[in-house]
Chains A and B, each alone.
Chain A
Amino acid sequence: MTTVLRSRFLRPSSVLIAGVALASLLLPPLLDSGKQTVFVLFTLYVVVTVGLSLLMGLAGQISLGQAAFYALGAYTAGLLAKHGLPQLLALAAAPVGSAVVATLIGVPVLRLRGHYLAFATLAFQLIVLTILAEARGITGGDIGLGGIPPLLPVLNQGQDSELDLNSPLVYCYVGWLVAALVIVLTRNLVRSRPGRGLRALATSEIGAAASGVAVGADKLKVFTISAAYAGLAGGVYAFFLEYLSPGSFPILLSIQFIVMATLGGLGEVWGAVLGAAVIVLLVQVLQAAASQPGLPRQAPAILSYAAYGGVMVLVMLFLPAGLLPTLRQRLSRGRG
């Protein structure tokens, strides 16, 4: 039994990790600025997806409102920085804001057995979107929140030349760093004693409760952590775009996070990375395909709905463990 559990969290060899890290470090300068933006968003999606994957894989719960925590983090950081808080402090406040709100939702909802969190978080996201759109005085409403200062300083070099550190390329590395931080943090968490308790939780709620794991409290912890990750990613997003509007955080974005997490493999840190990468690439391909001349105006929408829906259904039916565990199994079978 323990070997089964452990193998689910077995890490890819350190060589592979080093390879992935190195490749992702070398990649950004080779991209044009448009693709660099995609890369930045990819790193942020990784951060959100790692958290969501943890929630779904370890706590067996699903959040349809992860984009709302992303939005909360973004607006927290954006508003605080705009009103004079140093940028790094504002960024640090982003995960805290999201985590506090998640705790407030989670305390009652996670006490109920069943999948109430799914609809509660969906409702929560709709509420957040409504508030962001209605509280014009604070958030700028539907028009959006502009004038967010950049994260990094603009250096004056002599009289005329300025070195702006806030290029997409630099944000690629900011995103990379944040993602790396979250990955390391999560891996340690999963291997820790509480992490092992959580894994028991995923296997059987009743069993975990019987063996003394405080089911509700641990679910709450994972939910809060996942919200904090989303908030952190949102904070970076705010500084990267320097502009926020409710339209940037649709329900579809929450769904996209779910698709990434399920595709990669629930409860899998590296699965989240893989899932996010595959979906980001898929979206690029779909966008290119849908913008072919001669296709109807709705083609991009149809393609993306079909892709998200199709991936969720097919993965759950035929690849329920997700891409990464399946690949790993194939590999080890090939070797052994």
Chain B
Amino acid sequence: MAEALLEVRGLTVRYGAAVALADVSLQVARGEMVALVGPNGAGKTTLLNAISGVIRPAAGRIQLSGRVTQVPEGRQLFADMSVEDNLRIGAWSVRQRDPAAVYELLPRLRELRGRIAGTLSGGEQQMVAVGRALMSTPDLLAIDELSLGLAPLVVDSLAQYLRSLNRERATAILLVEQNVRLALELCPRAYVLEAGQIVLSGSAEELASSAAVQAAYLGGAPEPVPVASGGEDAEA
């Protein structure tokens, strides 16, 4: 395995008496794209928040050899500020606060720079959220629910941006995603989190063809396709 960028070992997080994460271990290599899937309330957001350092784990280790920035669920923009101000605030922890590099990757943001973030469409807002996170030049981009509430076409183009980001800048991506089909399509490797525990992990292909994942996330058992060709592809 390539050099580990993020190494989570034995992570346990509690909210009061409730255990949100129990003994979770996970790895992301430099430049890798990894998906984290699982049902609502499994603890995916908690895991991202622990990795981002927003919440403190009760036990376990999170080792990061680089910078991680989270794109939170629901975008969480500074709604009453301009797009450019949103981007610049994303650069709080670094010296370089000029958004030129992000505009280069996401040219649409240059056109929107003067607009108030709260007035943008959902897809545009998600783009701002990704752009804002990129301002801190992260080695790992932790994205919480990329596609939530967005039209399929918009999601496709966002996915394209992530691919080129990953290819051109070697930014690793940890993608939490409800849309398992999309997640497994975009990321070569994935973890399945259920009730605070990692229950499955492996390559996207393995997971896509596993009966458990099929049943729980991909709409039932492997479909009795009339023309049974070698359709291993997870394409819908």
Direct contact of A and B (CB under 8 A): yes
| Interface, chain A (partner B; CB < 8 A) | 1, 4
- In the complex, whether B230 has a CB less than 8 A from a CB of chain A is no
Chain A residue at minimal CB-CB distance from B18: A1
CA distance A4 to B16 in the complex (A): 10
Contacts of B16 in A (CB 8 A): 1, 4
- In the complex, whether B153 has a CB less than 8 A from a CB of chain A is no
- In the complex, whether B54 has a CB less than 8 A from a CB of chain A is no
What string of 1s and 0s marks CB contacts (under 8 Å) between B1-31 and chain A? 0000000000000001110000000000000
| 5 residue pairs bridging A and B, Cβ less than 8 Å apart | A1-B16, A1-B17, A1-B18, A4-B16, A4-B17
B232 nearest CB across to chain A (Å): 43
CA distance A1 to B17 in the complex (A): 8
Contacts of B17 in A (CB 8 A): 1, 4
CA distance A4 to B15 in the complex (A): 13
The interface size bin for chain B is: under 10
CA distance A1 to B15 in the complex (A): 11
5 closest pairs, A vs B, by CB? A4-B17, A1-B17, A4-B16, A1-B16, A1-B18
B148 nearest CB across to chain A (Å): 20
CA distance A1 to B16 in the complex (A): 9
Contacts of A1 in B (CB 8 A): 16-18
Chain B residue at minimal CB-CB distance from A3: B17
B118 nearest CB across to chain A (Å): 19
CA distance A206 to B71 in the complex (A): 24
Contacts of A4 in B (CB 8 A): 16-17
B24 nearest CB across to chain A (Å): 23
CA distance A4 to B18 in the complex (A): 12
Contacts of B18 in A (CB 8 A): 1
B16 nearest CB across to chain A (Å): 7
A199 nearest CB across to chain B (Å): 15
A172 nearest CB across to chain B (Å): 44
CA distance A59 to B190 in the complex (A): 45
Q: Which of B104-136 contact A (CB under 8 A)?
A: none
B14 nearest CB across to chain A (Å): 13
B40 nearest CB across to chain A (Å): 15
CA distance A4 to B17 in the complex (A): 9
CA distance A303 to B221 in the complex (A): 76
Q: Which of B16-61 contact A (CB under 8 A)?
A: 16-18
Q: Which of B75-109 contact A (CB under 8 A)?
A: none
B234 nearest CB across to chain A (Å): 36
CA distance A213 to B200 in the complex (A): 40
CA distance A327 to B101 in the complex (A): 59
CA distance A120 to B217 in the complex (A): 53
A22 nearest CB across to chain B (Å): 38
B224 nearest CB across to chain A (Å): 41
A5 nearest CB across to chain B (Å): 11
Q: Which of B162-211 contact A (CB under 8 A)?
A: none
B199 nearest CB across to chain A (Å): 26
A331 nearest CB across to chain B (Å): 21
A79 nearest CB across to chain B (Å): 51
CA distance A162 to B213 in the complex (A): 92
CA distance A1 to B18 in the complex (A): 9
